[in-house]
Amino acid sequence: MSSIAVYPGTFDPITFGHIDMIQRSLRLFDKVIVAVAQDTMKETLFSLTERVNLAKTALSNTAGVEVQGFRGLLVEWMHVHNWNMIVRGVRWADDMHDEWKIAMINKNLASDIETVWLTALPKYGHISASIVRHIAQLQGDVTPMVPACVVEVLRGKY
Ligand code: COA
């Protein structure tokens, strides 16, 4: 039986940090589902369709990855598909504060679903989607942080 992991996030937009996590998850799992959330507690710059399409383009050459948007609770959507493994990335100790909470919430909602954490590579530790948006808005260079398709769309937005 093939192993499947779900890598959920807002991906507003997808960054090299996310892509590194996805590629490294593929060493542990046969398939990674990149799950782009509609319902997060954040106001997004990009629509769900835009975020899904950017992730699809950025990952078009990565075998074993599927990008899907979802609405509602992550764990309920996973149950519909019979998936039971969540992968999340941790960049530094501070991230654990929120990640711990999310994992506990999900565990309380669905005890059959497990969360595993992978530590991000230090070279991506400074990257976050909001930093990318901030720098792009101020006409700064985001090419070291995001794939070319994202750079182009950000130029169009700002
Ligand atoms: N490299 C670079 N950046 C990374 C990263 C990595 N390895 N891992 C995370 N990040 C960044 C993201 O870019 C993002 O940056 P930002 O805060 O500047 O936008 C931040 O870390 C974390 O955001 P994200 O991964 O999108 O997580 P989140 O805390 O917004 O939660 C979901 C998103 C999808 C997990 C959560 O909202 C969810 O499950 N929503 C569905 C509804 C639900 O089930 N709710 C109950 C559970 S909370």
**What DSSP line would sit under 87-117, residue for residue?**
EEEE-SHHHHHHHHHHHHHHHHH-TT-EEEE
Residue nearest to atom 18 of ligand 1 (CA): 130
pTM of the model: 0.96
Quote the ligand 1 centre to 74 CA distance (angstroms): 12
Quote the ligand 1 centre to 9 CA distance (angstroms): 4
Q: At what angle do helices 129-137 and 148-157 cross, to 10 degrees?
A: 50
Quote the ligand 1 centre to 7 CA distance (angstroms): 10
Can you say whether the dihedral through the CA atoms of 119, 120, 125, 127 is positive or negative?
Answer: negative
CATH number for the domain whose boundaries are 4-126: 3.40.50.620
Mean pLDDT over 27-47 rounds to: 96
The two tokens of residue 19 are: 């892509």
Residue at 139: amino acid letter: Q
**Cβ of 35: how many Cβ atoms within 10 Å?**
23
pLDDT in tens, 127-152: 999 999 999 999 999 999 999 999 99
For residues 17 and 7, is the Cβ–Cβ distance under 8 A? Answer: no
Q: What is the pLDDT of residue 24?
A: 97
Please check the confidence at residue 1 and state whether its pLDDT lies above 80.
no
8: Cβ below 6 Å to ligand 1?
yes
pLDDT in tens, 77-96: 999 999 999 999 999 889 99
Ligand 1: nearest atom to the Cα of 72 = 42
Ligand 1: nearest atom to the Cα of 98 = 29
Quote the ligand 1 centre to 158 CA distance (angstroms): 23
